[in-house]
Amino acid sequence: MPSESTDQHKAIAHSKGPVSVAIVTVSDTRTPETDTNYHYLEPEITGMGHKVVGYRVIQDEPLQVAEALEEMVRSGAQVILFNGGTGIAPRDTTYDVLARKIEKPMPGFGELFRMLSYAEVGAAAMLSRAMAGVYHRRVVISTPGSPNAVQVAWTKLIKPELEHLAWEVAR
């Protein structure tokens, strides 16, 4: 049950207007045409009255991840959503790059995401290095790239707090 101050914060955040969001898909195989995560998230975001101000599909290469992060900061995004590259395979480097950049980690995001994932995929949820934090007064969220993971993160964690997240880091 949200507290009175949480409700007040959410009301203030909502009054600030649309949130600017950027989406980065990390994949060696997806293209803008086949990026099911973008095609899911974009109408979800705009349907809430918010704006998608940046979008890229990149490979899971450390330099591309770092460049995409900086580009999305320059785009004016208040919230930057990365999807893909959070596993433990040698090719998965997104978490490592973002973890080095994050100035204020939000460990609760990853903990809650893995808890929700456990209900769906069991112990395999521990392989996810989903994370969130603050970088240059932007909220950066990184989830696995499976469409189900993106949908769970969006519906259960990000969507209900999107305005509140953007307001908290900017105030």
Asked whether residue 3 is domain-assigned, the answer is no
pLDDT the model gives residue 169: 93
Asked whether residue 110 is domain-assigned, the answer is yes
Domain that holds residue 33: 20-169
Asked whether residue 64 is domain-assigned, the answer is yes
Asked whether residue 115 is domain-assigned, the answer is yes
Asked whether residue 90 is domain-assigned, the answer is yes
CATH number for the domain harbouring residue 151: 3.40.980.10
pLDDT tens for residues 22-71?
Answer: 999 999 999 999 999 999 999 999 999 999 999 999 999 999 999 999 99
Asked whether residue 9 is domain-assigned, the answer is no
How many separate domains does the chain show?
1
* DSSP per position, 103-144: SEE-HHHHHHHHHHHHHHHGGGGGG---EEEEETTEEEEEE-
**Does residue 19 have a pLDDT over 90?**
yes
pLDDT tens for residues 134-168?
Answer: 999 999 999 999 999 999 999 999 999 999 999 99
Asked whether residue 71 is domain-assigned, the answer is yes
Asked whether residue 14 is domain-assigned, the answer is no
* DSSP code, position 19: P
